[in-house]
Structure 1
Amino acid sequence: MSTVYLAIQISVGRIVALKVMNPSLTSDPAFSERFQREATIVGQLSHPNIVAIYDIGRAEDLNYIAMDYLPNGSVHDKMINGMTGEEALRVTKEIANALDHAHEKGYIHRDIKPENILFRADNSAVLSDFGVAKGIVGVSRMTHVGTVVGTPHYMSPEQTRGQTVDSRSDLYSLGVLFFEMLTGFLPYQGEDTVTIALKHISAPIPKLPLQYQAYQKMLEKFLAKDPDQRFQSGQEVSTAIDQLEAAARTPYIPNAAPEDLSVMALIRALFAATSQAIKWRWNRLTNLRWNKDEGFHTRKSFNDSVFGSEIAPTIFATRIQQQTHINPSLIIHNRSLRKLLLITGAVIISWCVLSVILQSIFAQQIAQGPQLLNKATRATASLFISPKPVTAKLTQNNARSSVSSKTQSSATSSVAVVTEQSSVASSQQVSSQASSIALPTYALTIKTTPEDARIRLMNIPEKYKEGIALTSGRYNIELSKTGYKTRTEWIEIKNEPLSVSFTLEAELDLSNPAKATIPNIVYGGKNAPALVRVPAGSFTMGNDNNMHSAPAHKVAIKAFAISKYEVTFAEYDFFAQSTNKPLPGDNGWGREDRPVIHVSWNDAVAYTQWLSKTTGKKFRLPTEAEWEYAARAGSTTTYWWGDNELDAKGKANCRRGCSSNYSGLFGSKTAPVGNYTPNAFGLYDVSGNVSEWVQDCYQDNYKNASSTGAATDEKQCTGRVVRGGSTKDNVQHLSTSARDNIPSGYLNETLGFRIVMELN
């Protein structure tokens, strides 16, 4: 609807935010009225927590409003960086006071959400964007009963139904925001807007995490389905927060009777606290990711869409929050300490029971498993039982190199008792008369093309030699040779000898087209990514089994060149530095040959325009049809490799189902480009790694799709198409026909792109 500029009001030398209405909407009376209404409403409100308007006018057919410049970002930004419980309470109280003032003046905001709450330089919260506000009394031509206005995730039950709303609807939305600031999650989520609306109407009020239980009653009053059971005014909210903060400052004095501390009472408390903790952790398990490099991460998602036609969709990322108590100076009181001790005791008891079971029943199997687990369980079990000795056969062929060369070659096997002490002795040389102690080993043979490539074992000290004897486990290998791209792979030995083969990819000097010996490589000019020529042809685009990619239809495609890999940080950073653009963040995953992330559609288009200007050739984003044609590479199956999702291993990087080395139990990240098998056109990572922006404006289906592969575009495009799925998606979302709708200005860790060069 409008663009906001940082400006100076020359008459008074004041810095302001200048909101300028889109010129193409000037002729639309509804938009002009709404723009005027925002200024009129805010002009009648005077409150420190409501944005102030300094001027409204029209210049050269441009409608504008000059208002407060609020430099400290929005609640959305604060949540990304983490908010404490104290901060969430303060923001909620300040916005409740702002709403109370607006309601007293007779106006309902109707669009409370993180992006509409900004911060002054002193960090005080300010309510902004009254563009869809309406009067409590009187009739407005802007809306009528049955029309839904707002943002779906924050709408009250009556608002989603299109019913008449009052001030209590705003307080419901404030309650949704309060929950999100505390947890980093929206209380009600769904695959589409209707599902979200139904949950607001009928789903139970969610529970807050344990550390925020003191806020649960207030949340339930915020989110009551019946408006009569909610807070009735912003002042009532402010008073409730004052009482909550006062209670938090009062030292906790237990008043339990002596009989409450009986053994049975403690056991009941133990089970209650444990079950509550397990339930909370289970609810968060699907959104938590972990690996040893990154630690814990909360999965980011975006799943919002338009409800009705009066407001643009808002896409959100789940925010990682810092979970703290109301008052950091209290940190923990007696009740919390008792719960903590009970939970800790339950964990210790569970570990002891598990250790005893493993060492008394599964001693043989656990001894052949991870050494750390074996040692830890044996040490714990030894406090209660005498761990069973474990016997293992050792042949001369699988003896480790640490065994003395004095061991007789005629000995074909021996029996040894493996104890914790003997695991230490196994690393030293022993005589032929001593008990030989070692785990079974298996020969590893690695063949490379070219044959003289250097092979290194990266996660163990031993140097590779053909047929090296290694125990079962996973090994990281590095293959390198001058003139070829270095390649790293994980391999796994599973109780049998392993022989693998790898081919190194030649480094092509694209600055000299004559050296580009692979026929389908196309030279795009200096600084251009490696390009692959895709031949002309036709294919069936879409999938009739999905309403958003139906109907399947024939498309004819002209020949074009497309980047062999997703655009990398190295390529994009050079562009950003050359044009003085900020460098996008890499989430700590690494830059250089990893695909660039945190780039919007607008950023991707800017990159192609810069590349066109510097090379003299025509670069752009691929159309949706070109992308699918290139990704399919002649296939007609669900995935470019076939219909079986179980075959995704080694071909894609995704969260679940790809067996990716870059995805752990609790986390996933992007892989360096070219790390997985290419499709038949020689294109890498068309499935997974990062979702890729394409040129097209998103349409709900292909009913009006072009048969020539041309991009669909609109002047007022609210969302662009992304294809291919990312490292955060499950394998089912990597099908070549899958598509998503994302606003062009949105960016996060899942979004990247590849480019097309037009051929003459």
Structure 2
Amino acid sequence: MALQIPGYRVVRKINQGGMSTVYLAIQISVGRVVALKVMNPQLNNDPAFSERFQREATIVGQLSHPNIVAIYDIGRHEDLNYIAMDYLPNGSVHDRMSTGLTGEEVLRVIREVASALDHAHEKGYVHRDIKPENILFRTDNSAVLSDFGVARGVSANSRMTHVGTVVGTPHYMSPEQTKGNNVDGRSDLYSLGIVFYEMLTGSLPYQGEEAVTIALKHISAPIPKLPLQYLAYQKILDKLLAKDPEQRFQRGRDLIQAIDELEKNFHTPLTSSVHPTDLTVIALARALVNATVHALRWRWNKLRALRWSPERGFYARPSSKITEIFFNEGQSSIHSQRTQIATRVNGALDEKHTHHKKLAVGFLLVVALLGLGVWWNKGLQDISPAETIATNSAANNTTNNTSNPAQVSNTQATTPFAGAQPVATAALPMANDSGDGSAMAAVDMTSGNLAVESSAAASSEPLITFALQVKTVPAQARVRVLNIPERYQPGMQLPPGSYHLEVSHPGYDMQRSWVEITDQDLSPSFTLNQSLKPGEAMSSELVAAIKSQGPEMVRIPSGSFLMGHKDTVTAMPVHKVTINKAIAMSKYEITFDDYDIFAQATNRALPSDNRWGRGNRPVINVNFEDARAYAKWLSETTGKKYRLPTEAEWEYVARANSKSLFWWGDDVKDAAGRANCRRGCNSKFSGLFGAKTAPVGSYPANAFGIYDTAGNVAEWVEDCFADNYNLHPKNGQALLIKNCDARVVRGGSAKDNAERLASHIRDYHHAEIFDSHLGFRVVMDL
């Protein structure tokens, strides 16, 4: 029997769920097409479901926004509760993801939903169930937020709809929502961030077989990274998915403003048409190989075009195709000519190979072709039947530290007779008596005259160089300069610049380090440590060194301080803590040099250094249990009592008797030159696409003589995490609770902005989590 509801003509069923069924219907009184949502009659006896059904109509009825579903009627017929609302025929975000969404479409949807949320939050309501199925589309493809069934007022006192039950969909719930805490509009923005990631990548960032597993990942797992073609969106995603609500966008309008600024800064499309699965390593490698083949083919065709005759000597056979594609008529500057060459090369290849129009492959083509051009053909000139090609050798790469200064050639063009066009020469490498390949053959392409001149004679100005003499222990260690092609020779002459040195020797740990040549000779020293193979017993000398030294420690006097901050929820209440006895804390964060000995001695896997370097950089990618195990091993090896610091001890040392936000004062701008962080520290270890750790001690110590308590890596401490200090001990001991899942981390890291380096700022991770910006230090009981 067909569904009968007075005032409506039901056409067909659209969708069905456990709580309700949605029908396409016509509201007879006004002839309006509506979606008729009818609650499952079997749920009538459950007051919670009836309340939720009624709440949706009540809340949406108070919201009037083009991107929020509209409610036209609510009623009950016999045992059927129903709501008449907007009919949205173009499916949901979930449906659209199956066919793929462009980056521009995703931004539009996020902007419209953010506008809807801003309106709802302003009216005092939190949606609490943002997910792809609840974002629908009108016929004009505008996004509409629906299903306010679990929405609550911001001022509601209850954390949950039912005692012990957290409301929401686990894959999209914010960290505070998963823990059952009170939530506000920022929780919805976190959920929207999950939808943002899913729309761009087609997958969820945090997955697991059980809801608890997923919830823990929302609480402690690192923020996911977007694929290469969506790199411009990463900053927005990072702020949407910040674990701390204070670090997120505070309102929907803030998110909209960030999107506007992003689009304003990028006048070209922010994404390519390449599907994420196209950007595999194999695909990128294939594109690079193709680009190289095209460049080599072009060079081969140029060489094939060379001709020689007794009358003319070497000359280039006219080729209208080559001239049209690669050169501009008339004279032009080198800069403009390179631009024209790159543009025309791309145009010609696009016509021949349409699949290279994809942005990622096109970018690789430009890089490969320009790179080969700089290497082989630095100074391209115009070509015509009466003119010849001018080629400057790869020696110009010297200014980029990619060739030997002795290979510089700057062959000048000559004019054989008055009124003639400038005659260019092609500089071709030849072997000379010294065997260093520094002589160049200058070929006059018009007259055929061949002259050989040394690079020293051709250079217009002498290149200033300085000697690099690397001292090593052991003395026979191999030295390489990784960022230049020349083999290292003791005392080799190099121009001023940065050089990446690698020192290695069989049986020793390799070391890499950057050095800077400025205005004098440089003689850096390297002392290699003997390698310890997994399972190999430590030598008596190494054991003695550890027993006598261990990590360098600094004595910290006893004392009292005010812990926390009055304006930070997780650091409240501010309370007095007394450290009753002196301790010693490691002067630096535990380094790879420290940790690798422990890992090898205990047959543990060596943690990854993220390709940032090991040695005296802080150890990273270690979880809480790894850090605790290191302290235990150090205690057993040295006979002294090492452990992780408590949270109170850590803040006491970080403050170093200061009462300001940072150990250096209250001004966040003063972080520059004092810490390694992503924004605000002016750190040389922070770049356009991320930040890496700095060698320990690269920045000043605080008043206690402890380094890197602000930035570099966040540090594990012993305490279990609680979202306030109500239960925190006042004597400096650790807060330990039963079934402790999350542990506190302190200090901020290189990926944080300077504001997150304040001494009171707290964060937390699951004990099993390891991260490239997470390390630790130790204390020793005296």
Which bin holds the TM-score, normalised by the shorter protein? 0.3 to 0.5
**Which one has more relative contact order, counting CA pairs under 8 Å at least 6 apart?**
1
Tell me the TM-score normalised to structure 1 length. Answer: 0.44
Q: Greater Rg, structure 1 or structure 2?
A: 2
Tell me the TM-score normalised to structure 2 length. Answer: 0.43
